[in-house]
Structure 1
């Protein structure tokens, strides 16, 4: 019996073929960076107050400031209230109003006036998502995260059944349709629906591109390929900031970030399928085609006799998604990883959607966030030097502590808050990158995407909750940072329960499992074979043979 790692050494573990593939999967990641963060700009909060044109019908010649003093009450800090106005008196003259004053207030009756000095339009100004409808802006972000959740649930199993390539292509097509369609919506309801579809497609792209690259890459360069793909998302965030700075109309920005996706239709011919997945599914002839191509591009010679010795999932009893919870060792890893995925997403998108809290200039803050995220490329060296477990735990701990330290600084100390926010964002970005590498190494090829899909579902559950947590800030300042900090520290502690996977070959299945269901020493054949497979390469807690 041979393993896919031996075949990969034959065709080249990181030759020209893998480098071309890495470029192909990094480019779509740029656009996921656009669409994951775009609502920071398309749904940006705009200064506003009630429209009170009735005062202009009574008198002329009042300055804008005088009109505001007569129609809009003030907050304690001296700013004008956003959702209240003085009760109109259109039947009185200006002298009566100046003499008697106006103490009674009412909700905005004539709509709102917006400050367009920074934006030409956003979904907030176009659909009046302020005051009682303010929650709809956050709900549109939550809808996108809910789409990511459903995408993880949908595209993980689909990729294990139909392949990585087909799933990526379908996801790209959905991203194109929903992204362009969102630029033409007449109502906020339809925008929210399309954000859900967009999130679903982005989830399919993010999961399967990383896995495809990982399954074609040898042990030594596996973390490099995975982390570099993640860095492409950060580059997308930087480019988005530049586009948003130059394009202040939300519909045009949506079109600009979506229309170029049409170039990915060429991936029908350019993107290869995972030969590792094809072999596990018993499709040896199809796998040979891609392996021959890889060998030719890498100027290597493929010994096809190795392929015939591969044991496929058709020749063993297949592990199912339920075995992730039934087998004790798998259960521990699955539970810990799903919680880490949840915390990563919860904190990452919570910080992304909180840029206005850290700085009034959201363009500068988002650019800094994107720029420091590119530093996650250092994870390549850190993972090689210290391994997966130490990096995972340290990144989560550092991010959690940074979030909590922000609370120690009072308002007005902007520089200190920005530095800590950037440190938290960098740490949680690094944790996210490590988690992607870790997950692809801990789960077997036979159900790798279903397993990562399950973990991703919990990640996007954290993303769904994050925008809603932002609403608590109005009544409970600092509550979001407390939650970000505590959950990160807990996840850091739990990461100590995971096995180290550095310099280990990917596992394709859980062991040689027969078709019989009898128990041996109180355990099923699946479980005994699983633990035997782990024992072949050392104790399970020190290997990745799962």
Structure 2
């Protein structure tokens, strides 16, 4: 009797598996939120240099005198200059005139009358003001990650994704050695701690360290939860359950949009979503170790205890010594484990297929994150756009689930790859040839 036979006898997707699998799917919601949180926490609002000497300067011009100060200080010939440059000769004059005659009198700017219309030199900003209509506060506005420091913003996102890459590698082999549940719990603890501490991080290098750890934790949670779930259900239910976990990921996107809409301060948003991770620490008592992994390690009594619990919950009558007839299972699992890597290295066909799958997954991830992380660059309301993106992802999972057995894996995968390539390429044409539209309010 193989492990698959035992699971079939227990019920391929009975009440016990449904309960555990539902618990395993929930962290995908918070994982998605943390993976795509930067759409809101690293958002770049409209900004410009703060007017020197004006401590209460705001993005919106308050009155005619404020407008005159703005015209005296900020070049408006092009967008980049208006965001990142300041007239170099303004600061000393402001200090001597204190925004009074001859520069501003009764709200009228008279600098050009006195100095002529000559070309004026500009300098970089020492302080910025930001438009707070869409975001009260972001990491960008708190740390001034704009203009000369704008690359640091992309570095922060790159660090998170580097952590995700590290986590996908680092959580694989250790889960085979130490167990799926232990690696899942380590990832959950790291996820909770890193997410919470990010809330109060004001030092950029420290923030990057936390983002790296959080990225590794998110990947570790998803991969280990996925494996535990797959090893608890029967063969005929694995396609369905695999898609269900992805559906919870899209639910995370759909939940993040309204949360971010009502919580527009990045620290409060980070704290709100981080608190959602704390209940997952109870999984040490709620989620079992994978019986399949226990059998592969020769821990038959522990595996049998879990399987007996599954049988009791599913109301299935099984012999007390359930695995007595499955002695061959341990050798079977060891043989599969030892031969799997060697097979990929020794057989060109398997190795080629692995590289094709790896490349396809890389392209899919590049497209997915490239589109979703830049949804704030689209016209319209960023919160609505993000919500629509989550809804479309949910719809795509449901459609794929319905078509997978009818169309086939290869045909469906190739067809969707072609569709994605065509649609992404087609976006070039409206960008190049569509008439420009007026700036829209992203609030």
TM-score, L = length of structure 2: 0.87
Structure 1 residues 252, 96: closer, same or farther in 2, change over 3 A?
closer
- Match for residue 232 of structure 2? 216
Whether 1:342 aligns to 2:362 is yes
The alignment partner of 1:120 has SS state of: coil
How far residue 79 of structure 1 moved from its aligned partner, in angstroms, is 8.4
Secondary structure of the 2:431 match is coil
Partner of 1:352: 372
Q: Distance in 1 between matches of 2:255 and 2:72?
A: 44
Task: After TM superposition, give the deviation of residue 238 of structure 1 in Å.
Answer: 1.0
Supply the RMSD in Å over aligned alpha carbons: 2.5
Match of 2:251 among 235, 238, 241: 235
Contact 1:74–1:81 (CA under 8 A) maintained in structure 2:
yes
Deviations 1:453-507 (A, max 9, x none): xxxxxxxxxxxxxxxxxxxxxxxxxxxxxxxxxxxxxxxxxxxxxxxxxxxxxxx
* Aligned equivalent of 2:422, options 401, 409, 434: 401
Does residue 369 of the first structure (1) align with residue 369 of the second (2)? Answer: no
- Report the equivalent of 2:107: none
2: CA distance, partners of 1:248 / 1:61: 27
Q: Which runs of 5 or more residues in structure 1 are unaligned?
A: 415-546
Whether the 8 Å contact between 1:10 and 1:301 is mirrored in structure 2 is no
Match for residue 177 of structure 1 among 190, 193, 199: 193
Deviations 1:155-196 (A, max 9, x none): 011111112111111100000110000001121221111000
Return 309-318 or 189-198, whichever deviates more.
Answer: 309-318
CA contact (8 A) 1:84 1:105 kept: no
Q: Distance in 1 between the 2:433 and 2:260 partners?
A: 27
User: In structure 1, what is the equivalent of residue 296 of structure 2?
Assistant: 280
C-alpha contact 1:147 1:195 (8 A) present in aligned 2: yes
Report the CA distance between 1:393 and its aligned residue.
1.2
The answer to whether the 8 A contact 1:44-1:122 is kept is: yes
Contact 2:30–2:252 (CA<8 Å) still a contact in 1?
yes
The structure with more radius of gyration: 2
Q: Which residue pairs with 1:26 in the alignment?
A: 25
Equivalent position SS for 2:30: helix
- Give the superposition deviation at 1:230: 0.6
Matched residue SS, 1:408:
helix
Partner of 2:73: 71
Could you tell me how far 1:206 is from its partner in structure 2? 1.1
- Pick the aligned partner of 1:164 from 154, 174, 180: 180
Q: Tell me, what secondary structure is at the counterpart of 1:410?
A: helix
Classify the secondary structure of the residue corresponding to 2:122.
strand
Query: 1:204 and 2:220 equivalent?
Result: yes
Q: Please name the residue that 2:41 is paired with.
A: 42
Query: Is 1:297 equivalent to 2:313 in the alignment?
Result: yes
1:116 aligns with 2:138: no
Match for residue 327 of structure 2? 308
**C-alpha deviation, 1:202, in angstroms:** 0.3
Please say if residues 210 and 229 of structure 1, whose CA atoms lie closer than 8 Å, have aligned partners that are also in contact: yes
Match of 1:266 in 2: 282
User: Whole-Å Cα distance in 2 between the matches of residues 75 and 326 of structure 1?
Assistant: 64
Question: Does the 8 A contact of 2:143 with 2:202 survive in 1?
Answer: no
Shift of 1:406: 0.7
Q: Are the aligned partners of 2:39 and 2:376 in contact in 1 as well (CA < 8 Å)? A: no
Deviation at 1:293, TM superposition (A): 1.1
Does the alignment pair 1:378 with 2:399? yes
Deviations 1:26-49 (A, max 9, x none): 111110011011010001011001
Q: Name whichever of 387-396 and 121-130 sits farther off.
A: 387-396
Aligned residues: 411
Q: Provide the C-alpha distance between the structure 2 equivalents of 1:396 and 1:82, rounded to a whole number of angstroms.
A: 39
Q: Verify the 8 A CA contact 1:87 1:104 in the aligned structure 2.
A: yes
> How far apart, CA to CA, are the structure 1 residues paired with 2:54 and 2:311?
78
Which stretch shifts more, 300-309 or 179-188? 300-309
Separation (CA, whole Å) in 2 of partners of 1:193 and 1:351? 25
TM-score (norm 1): 0.71
1:410 aligns with 2:431: yes
Matching residue of 1:250: 266
For residues 221 and 426 of structure 2, the distance between their equivalents in structure 1, rounded to whole angstroms, comes to: 35
1:208 CA displacement: 1.2
Deviation at 1:413, TM superposition (A): 5.3
Show the 5 A alignment for 1:489-528.
none
5+ residue gaps, structure 2: 56-61, 104-109, 436-443
Which residue matches 2:89? 88
1:319 is paired with a residue whose SS is helix
Q: Mapping of 1:3-22 within 5 angstroms?
A: 3-22=2-21
Structure 2 residue matching 1:318: 3-state secondary structure: helix
User: Corresponding residue for 1:132?
Assistant: 148
